[in-house]
């Protein structure tokens, strides 16, 4: 049985690990994977058709704990203990719930010192006792005529919630706590820079936990902005973003068959390679011979996608240029985001030019992908991978075709 320390408005955990409010989903899953011998049964609950309308939930069924993540920013919003018989709980090192100690109203009073009376909810037949960042729900016997102002003696805690602020119904996931940075860099938002023809590069607003000289206590979150363009060198990218989490060499190019003359393409001796930045939700592809950026991939990390939980969600904005038919045939801009749905985009565009390429993913030849295929639509030097619920899974950005004589001028690389 787990033995956990409750910290109101902050966390639930022990000396080995801690679920902290504001923690990214990927870190919580990483804790669960690391301790899978102790925390055994975990369900991932989400809405398949409307993933942004409901919290994403990790349900630790064996331990009676639910972790509720904000569907948009994918950070931990509420920690709920819904079965107190499956877990031991303590506050300031002293147990208020264990096999020997029942979580009665008297026990909660003694451990937390209630400062105001509980609030009765007739629909749920529960009394709620609220503290800042912490609330207890007490079960009443339904046969008992419920007193409306006072929690009856001996009433037992049915559920406990840890959250930010004073109101569980209105709480939001806080910003990511310093303890969650772990030396990584995160993207607050990513803007796609473009001209009329197509994308030129990315403008990233980055968050990092900068430390004072040798003193961890001095560390605070720093925000910085970096621009990366097609044609930037490997060194440019390393200088702007630091080392990638992984370098991946392409073994084959499945899209080659869709190029005008695939049989004429000479197989290259070395392969193009990706820099994978998992905490940014971005991949950057370099050309194997010139070592210059030729492609960006932005990941939305929607549940129900084959790559779910490999990348953090990239919160991007992409300006689309829409030609309006008519006498003056003017251009109109609209912004596509991580949360846009493809059917809305198609309406604005007046439907795509060609049929999509269907993408089947599987981890090996005889494996099937339980999440089904996705559809790839090309538009303005971008490929949009669309899931069956109309949400965008990833966006691949291509640079303008350049000849060898069009090498990027040196002066411009030093200017950003």
Are the C-beta atoms of 395 and 339 separated by less than 8 Å? no
Residue length of the chain:
416
Name the pTM for this structure.
0.88
159-180 mean pLDDT:
95
Q: In this model, does residue 327 exceed pLDDT 90?
A: no
Are the C-beta atoms of 253 and 261 separated by less than 8 Å? no
Are the C-beta atoms of 304 and 371 separated by less than 8 Å? yes
Residue 144 three-state SS: coil
Q: What share of the chain is helix, strand, coil (3-state, %, to 5)?
A: 15, 40, 45
| Pairing assessment for the beta strands 199-212 and 134-139 based on DSSP bridges | unpaired
Q: What is the pLDDT of residue 143?
A: 47
Q: In this model, does residue 2 exceed pLDDT 50?
A: yes
Residues paired with 277 in a beta bridge: 282
Are the C-beta atoms of 3 and 17 separated by less than 8 Å? no
Alpha-carbon span 330 to 54, nearest angstrom: 39
Query: What would the pLDDT profile of 352-378 be if each residue is shown by its tens digit?
Result: 667 889 988 766 555 666 778 899 998
Q: What is the pLDDT of residue 392?
A: 97
Query: What would the pLDDT profile of 183-214 be if each residue is shown by its tens digit?
Result: 999 999 999 999 988 999 999 999 998 765 55
**317 phi, psi to nearest 5 deg:** -130, 125
Q: What is the pLDDT of residue 212?
A: 53
Q: In this model, does residue 405 exceed pLDDT 50?
A: no
233-246 mean pLDDT:
96
241-267 mean pLDDT:
72
């Amino acid at each position: 049985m787990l033995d956990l320390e409750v910290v109101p408005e902050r966390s639930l955990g022990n000396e080995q690990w801690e679920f902290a409010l504001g923690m990214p989903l990927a870190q919580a899953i990483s804790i669960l994977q690391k301790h899978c011998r102790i925390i055994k049964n975990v369900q991932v609950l989400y809405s398949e058709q409307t993933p942004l309308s409901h919290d994403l939930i990790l349900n630790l069924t064996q331990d009676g704990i639910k972790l509720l993540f904000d569907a948009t920013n994918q950070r931990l919003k509420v920690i709920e203990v819904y079965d107190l018989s499956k877990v031991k709980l303590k506050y300031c090192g002293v147990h208020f719930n264990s096999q020997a100690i029942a979580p009665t109203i008297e026990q909660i009073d003694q451990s937390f010192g209630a400062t105001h009376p509980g609030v009765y909810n007739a629909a749920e037949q529960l009394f709620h006792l609220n503290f800042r960042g912490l609330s207890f729900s007490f079960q009443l016997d339904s046969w008992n005529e419920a007193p409306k102002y006072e929690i009856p003696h001996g009433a037992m805690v049915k559920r406990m919630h840890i959250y930010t602020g004073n109101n569980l119904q209105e709480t939001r996931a806080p910003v990511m706590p310093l303890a969650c940075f772990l030396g990584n860099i995160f993207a607050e938002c990513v803007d796609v820079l473009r001209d009329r023809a197509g994308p030129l590069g990315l403008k990233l607003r980055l968050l990092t936990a900068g430390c004072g000289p040798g003193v961890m206590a001095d560390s605070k979150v720093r925000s910085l902005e970096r621009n990366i363009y097609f044609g930037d060198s490997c060194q440019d990218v390393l200088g702007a973003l630091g080392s990638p989490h992984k370098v991946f060499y392409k073994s084959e190019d499945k899209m080659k068959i869709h190029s005008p003359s695939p049989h004429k393409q000479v197989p290259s001796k070395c392969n193009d390679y990706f820099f994978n930045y998992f905490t940014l939700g971005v991949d950057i592809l370099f050309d194997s011979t010139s070592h210059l950026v030729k492609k960006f991939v932005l990941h939305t990390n929607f549940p129900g996608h084959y790559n779910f939980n490999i990348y953090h969600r990239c919160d991007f904005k992409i300006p689309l240029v829409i030609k309006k038919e008519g006498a003056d045939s003017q251009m109109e801009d609209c912004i596509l985001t991580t949360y846009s749905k493809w059917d809305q985009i198609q309406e604005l565009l007046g439907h795509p030019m060609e049929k999509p390429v269907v993408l089947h993913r599987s981890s090996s030849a005889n494996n099937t992908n339980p999440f089904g295929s996705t559809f790839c639509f090309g538009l303005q030097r971008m490929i949009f991978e669309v899931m069956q619920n109309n949400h965008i899974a990833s966006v691949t950005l291509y640079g303008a075709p350049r000849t060898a004589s069009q090498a990027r001028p040196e002066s411009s690389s030093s200017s950003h």
